């Protein structure tokens, strides 16, 4: 199974107002896909939507939403598919991270992160598959391959999404549905500011949003699967699976200090 038809079809992109989500929206519109854009910041969405319509002659839908609330995911899906729109591709990108000692981070903020990083993509994926959507891209993280001290709940949330996405992909094997699990390493986006981390041009494994999106779309076109963008990040994902768990934890803790 190869190739993927973009032109004239609809995609729903969450977290589309900045970073990787914005890069997905630009790349998909550039390939002729109509895009439904969702994030909390309506002004940014409208500006991006107008730019994409003008540059690529595609249709856009602006769907401002705070997905952390109860029922928000199903509400978003209803808005995205209103008026007979059929979503051929879902990009589950919305999410955030928190850095700090587990006992020092506010519990309610960690619970909000788990809802957005785990429950929302699971619900949207379930709704999309039930509606016949044949392309799903779940943005997990290289952090999901190992426990990360000082980002304990975040790494756990991405481990959940990674495992869920790969398991559902296997269930869908042999069908026309393609599921991509993309696991970025460090990327210079607003994520770092919210999470309380930082990266520089010297950060090991650093990728741009466009490089992450390119890797995800190539995997989609090839039939789906799991991808870790960047050779350094791919090697890291392999090493943490075979190295002693105690060593992985110590190295992860040391590396987190470099992201301050």
**DSSP-assigned letter for residue 93:** -
CA pair distance 80, 63, nearest whole angstrom: 7
Estimate to the nearest angstrom the gap between the alpha carbon of 41 and the chain centroid: 17
Q: Exactly one of 154, 161, 177, 195 is catalytic; name it.
A: 154
DSSP string, 5-32: --TT-EEEEESTTSHHHHHHHHHHHHTT
What is the 8-class DSSP label of residue 20?
Answer: H
**Which residues lie across from 11 on neighbouring strands?**
35, 89
State yes or no: is 154 an active-site residue: yes
* Secondary structure class of 207 (helix, strand, coil): strand
> The sheet that has 135-139: what strands, in order across it?
60-64, 34-39, 10-14, 87-92, 135-139, 178-182, 225-227
Write out the catalytic residue numbers.
154
């Amino acid at each position: 199974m190869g190739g993927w038809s973009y032109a004239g079809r609809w995609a729903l992109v969450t977290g589309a107002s900045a970073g990787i989500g914005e890069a997905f929206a630009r790349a998909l519109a550039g390939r002729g896909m109509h895009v439904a854009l969702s994030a909390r910041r309506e002004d940014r969405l409208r500006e991006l939507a107008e730019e994409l319509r003008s540059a690529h002659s595609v249709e856009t839908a602006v769907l401002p939403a705070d997905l952390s609330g109860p029922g928000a995911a199903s509400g978003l899906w209803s808005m995205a598919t209103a008026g007979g729109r059929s979503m051929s591709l879902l990009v589950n990108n919305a999410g955030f991270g928190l850095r700090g000692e587990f006992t020092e981070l506010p519990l309610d903020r960690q619970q909000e992160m788990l809802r957005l990083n785990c429950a929302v993509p699971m619900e949207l994926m379930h709704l999309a598959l039930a509606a016949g959507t044949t392309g799903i891209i779940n943005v997990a993280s290289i952090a999901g391959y190992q426990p990360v001290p000082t980002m304990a709940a975040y790494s756990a949330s991405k481990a959940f999404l990674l495992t869920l996405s790969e398991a559902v992909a296997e269930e869908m094997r042999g069908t026309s549905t393609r599921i991509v699990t993309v696991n970025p390493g460090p990327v210079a986006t607003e994520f770092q500011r919210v999470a309380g981390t930082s990266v520089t041009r010297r950060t090991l494994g650093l990728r741009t949003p466009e490089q992450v999106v390119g890797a995800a779309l190539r995997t989609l076109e090839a039939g789906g699967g799991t991808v870790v963008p960047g050779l350094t990040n791919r090697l890291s994902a392999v090493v943490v699976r075979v190295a002693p768990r105690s060593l992985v934890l110590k190295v992860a803790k040391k590396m987190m200090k470099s992201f301050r």
